[in-house]
Structure 1
Amino acid sequence: MVEQGKGKRQELHLMQRKLLEISGVLNVDSFDNEEFLLQTELGHLTIRGHNLHIKNLNLEQGLVSIEGQVNSLSYLDPGSRPNGKGLLGKLFR
């Protein structure tokens, strides 16, 4: 049985691994053409793939659309910090 958070809601729609629509987004922490790190109502979400780019962004409504080849979606464990493997993390290694 699916346990819902206290009023928190998020939906992910992936079409043909080429278009990802996400609701419940609070902030876009980092992004490049291979990785997005989003802060969502349910925790940090990492999207990895190739040729990724933002098609639509509306943080007032909490909606983000990402186009490109989506290879993986993963939530970070609560309490863990994002590892900075995005563009800035790659620059400052």
Structure 2
Amino acid sequence: MEAQREREHKFVLDRREKALVTGVKDVISFDEKEILLQTDFGKIVVKGEGLHVKRLTLEKGEAELEGQVNGIQYSAVGSVEEEGGLFNRLFR
């Protein structure tokens, strides 16, 4: 796991319309208003309008996103949100 954590992570946003994210492990969920990514450094929630995943290359750990980005939120590795605590409480 340590070798994976050393992989580079970047979030590059161009004009709030296109994003390149590296260090991506998986796309957990997505719709036009929200994309939830699992990265080597925690989860990232991207909120906006007309969002979609243009390209996903898990071998390289890259995701290209498009749409109007209105917000980006990280959760720390090991946090309650990261462990699914919030979702587990909602869906019990």
**Aligned residues: CA RMSD:** 1.9
Task: Give aligned pairs, total.
Answer: 81
Deviation string 1:33-75 (CA, Å, 9 cap, x unpaired) is: 0001100010011000000011111011100000000011111
Partner of 2:60: 61
Of Structure 1 and Structure 2, the greater helix share is in: 2
Aligned-pair identity (%): 36
Residue ranges of structure 1 left out of the alignment (5+ in a row): 1-5
Residue 8 of structure 1 deviates from its aligned partner by 4.0
* TM-score normalised by structure 2 residue count: 0.78
Q: Which ranges of 4 or more aligned residues in structure 1 deviate by more than 2 Å? A: 81-84
Aligned mates of 1:36, 1:9 — CA distance in 2:
20
List alignment gaps of at least 5 residues for structure 2.
none
TM-score (norm 1): 0.77
Q: Please state how far the C-alpha of 1:79 moved relative to its aligned partner.
A: 2.4
Equivalent residue for 2:25?
26
